[in-house]
A and B are shown apart, each in its own frame.
Chain A
Amino acid sequence: GAVVSQHPSWVICKSGTSVKIECRSLDFQATTMFWYRQFPKQSLMLMATSNEGSKATYEQGVEKDKFLINHASLTLSTLTVTSAHPEDSSFYICSAISRGGLTDTQYFGPGTRLTVL
């Protein structure tokens, strides 16, 4: 199956700093990538939908200036958490949809655990 990677797998940062998380589709071109947030023992919450070459569409309640998303190529999307605070600590997961697919099967990255001190 299709492979999606995320880097880093975990990161610890100080409050007030910015953290960038990369999501890559390794063996297919992803026209659309999604960013999710998952709190402990909870389901995934969709944060934003990212289409290659255009601005991301954010879900209600997600601050676009805080969570900057860039999808500059068909294989890479980045999420930057700006001026991170402890409440931003969470598990961030990306997914990608294969271009030209007849279905909308998502392939998920392994996730990035962010801890803000």
Chain B
Amino acid sequence: AQSVTQLDSHVSVSEGTPVLLRCNYSSSYSPSLFWYVQHPNKGLQLLLKYTSAATLVKGINGFEAEFKKSETSFHLTKPSAHMSDAAEYFCVVSDLVSSASKIIFGSGTRLSIRP
């Protein structure tokens, strides 16, 4: 069985400071992990994905995430927040074993950026 937990429903940081959005997962198999961003009234955009290659994954817009199997975590980070980063972020887990590829969304974290 798979699950994903986003530990913070809302994160607020000042512009120019680091961003940390936390995600923990559980999976019976080797999981694929994703971070998506959703801006207001917009579709979901893939930020980055982990698929059993390098544990540190670099994505778009300066975001990166590190897969830590021992901690079952896949936290999203960015060194310096920008106003345009304000959005909803979703951590997603799916497995590679099943052809049906069950996909589970986290509950989302709303990121606010203070000027």
Contact at B43–A104, with CB atoms within 8 Å? no
- Distance, CA A110 to CA B43, complexed state (A): 4
Check A93/B44 contact, CB under 8 A, given A43-B90, A103-B32. yes
Query: Which of B45, B49, B106 lies in contact with A103, CB distance below 8 A?
Result: B49
List residues of chain B with CB within 8 A of the CB of A93: 43-44
- Report A53-99 residues with CB < 8 Å from chain B CB: 57, 93, 95, 97
Q: Considering the complex, give the chain B residue whose CB is closest to the CB of A49.
A: B100
Whether the Cβ atoms of A44 and B46 lie closer than 8 Å is no
Distance in angstroms from A21 CB to nearest chain B CB is 14
| Inter-subunit contact A108/B36 (CB<8 Å) | yes
B11 vs chain A, min Cβ distance (A): 15
Q: Which 9 A-B pairs have the closest CB atoms?
A: A110-B43, A108-B44, A104-B101, A103-B51, A44-B105, A43-B108, A43-B107, A43-B105, A108-B43
Binding site for A on B (CB under 8 A): 32, 34, 36, 42-46, 49, 51, 90, 92, 94, 96, 100-101, 103-108
Pull 12 A–B residue pairs with CB atoms less than 8 Å apart, ordered by A.
A1-B46, A32-B101, A43-B108, A45-B105, A46-B104, A57-B100, A93-B43, A93-B44, A103-B96, A108-B44, A109-B43, A111-B43
